[in-house]
Structure 1
Amino acid sequence: MTDTRSPTPHTLVSEPLVTEAPISGTSPAICSESSHVHHSPQDPLQIILQRMAEQTQVMNEKFEQISKLQEEQAGRMDEQSLRQEEIIRTIKEIEGKITPP
């Protein structure tokens, strides 16, 4: 007969979890169930949700940095356009003084 019960959280994790992004400056580490004995045991789903929240926060911070850089670049491009227009006006004024009317 086949077991139709829902799997427990422990049966969902068949391989050790590997942290992809270092958390608080630590190097990537393999977390197995035996290592969870050393610190407060948490539900694996809670651990995953916590890591996802941390990664989301990092992504939001990076997005804000990119947005600021884009705004700065747009401002520099506007300044550059104004300088180019000023140079063109100056060249036309000089050409107007050089060429006879």
Structure 2
Amino acid sequence: MPNCVEFVKFRVKEGQQPAFLARRPEAIAAVRRAHPDLIGAPVLAEHADGTWTDVWIYRSAAAAERANAGAGEIPEFLAMAELLEDVRVEASSMPDEVSGP
């Protein structure tokens, strides 16, 4: 079963970058505790236009769907998410032949 890769694109609210960077690791850890099929979020990139891309990898699309459905119940995730705007998520699959993160 291929892993599910979510490319999360967003803007960090003005003046909130330090808080976002501090809260992100806490959010990832909390999501992983609640949803052990989160493999990790190994890539965070800030683009020249002020947008960001965050990459989250799950063991399957079903696991990603469960995590997304339950995200509103994870305080650490909500604390991070409140700092973001213009959020878009593109989910893709990673072929089994590709070595994991």
Which has a greater percent of helix?
A: 1
Higher alpha-carbon Rg: 1
Band the TM-score falls in, shorter-chain normalisation: under 0.3
TM (norm. structure 1) is 0.21
Which has a greater percent of strand?
A: 2
